[in-house]
Structure 1
Amino acid sequence: MEKKYSEFTDKLFEAILTLKNVEECYKFFEDICTIKEIQSLSQRLEVAQLLQQNKSYIEISKETGASTATISRVNKCFTYGTGGYKAALERLEKGEK
């Protein structure tokens, strides 16, 4: 079976897991991503949170500025994906790190 990601993808996630706080995350992500990429990632998480709250696409679009295509993609992942959004949102809600 062909591996979906490379060993460098593993290294990326291992590097992220070494970060100790939000400030370190800002520093790392500002170095590795563009501001627009960071904004897009955070927007997707916000969309997932609003989908979890059963908000409509129109409400989510107005609140976040996300396109309906983005909302639809996040909804597909949120509903049928691997559970990553749900796990992260649940832990954020509980205040876990």
Structure 2
Amino acid sequence: MQIDKIKGHQTDQLFKAVLELKDMEECYRFFDDLCTISEIQSLAQRFEVAHLLRLKKTYETIKKETGASTATISRVRRCFDYGNEAYDEMLGRLYPDEQPFQNPRAK
């Protein structure tokens, strides 16, 4: 798994803190203290790119709707193709009526 490269005490502490967040307001306050506005916007943009890829939108449509570069879209797409399936898992929880991502490279 690719996640081994980010594992460590500091990362564990951060993720434990995230798991302790109780509501949306607390999330906003925590991430406002933790990250710059640009960092939060980048994370949010990637997640929206993932959602649009899951909906089978074209790169051009995603670029127009999110302002993401083709490099960002490609990076998120690589996560769908070769990653830990976390984008699809989280999007499935948020949007249970949508179809999961179908990887044409999967056998």
Residue 20 (structure 1) aligned with residue 22 (structure 2): yes
Q: TM-score, normalised by structure 2?
A: 0.83
* Structure 1 or 2: more helix by fraction: 1
CA distance in structure 2 between the partners assigned to 1:77 and 1:85 by the alignment: 8
Deviation at 1:55, TM superposition (A): 0.5
CA distance in structure 1 between the partners assigned to 2:81 and 2:23 by the alignment: 29
Segments of structure 1 that go 5 or more residues without pairing to the other structure are none
Tell me which stretches of 4 or more aligned residues in structure 1 moved more than 4 Å: none
CA distance in structure 1 between the partners assigned to 2:22 and 2:94 by the alignment: 16
Q: Which amino acid aligns with 2:20?
A: T
Q: TM-score, normalised by structure 1?
A: 0.91
Higher relative contact order (CA 8 A, sep 6+): 2
Aligned length: 92
CA distance in structure 1 between the partners assigned to 2:81 and 2:38 by the alignment: 25
CA distance in structure 1 between the partners assigned to 2:64 and 2:82 by the alignment: 24
Segments of structure 2 that go 5 or more residues without pairing to the other structure are 97-107
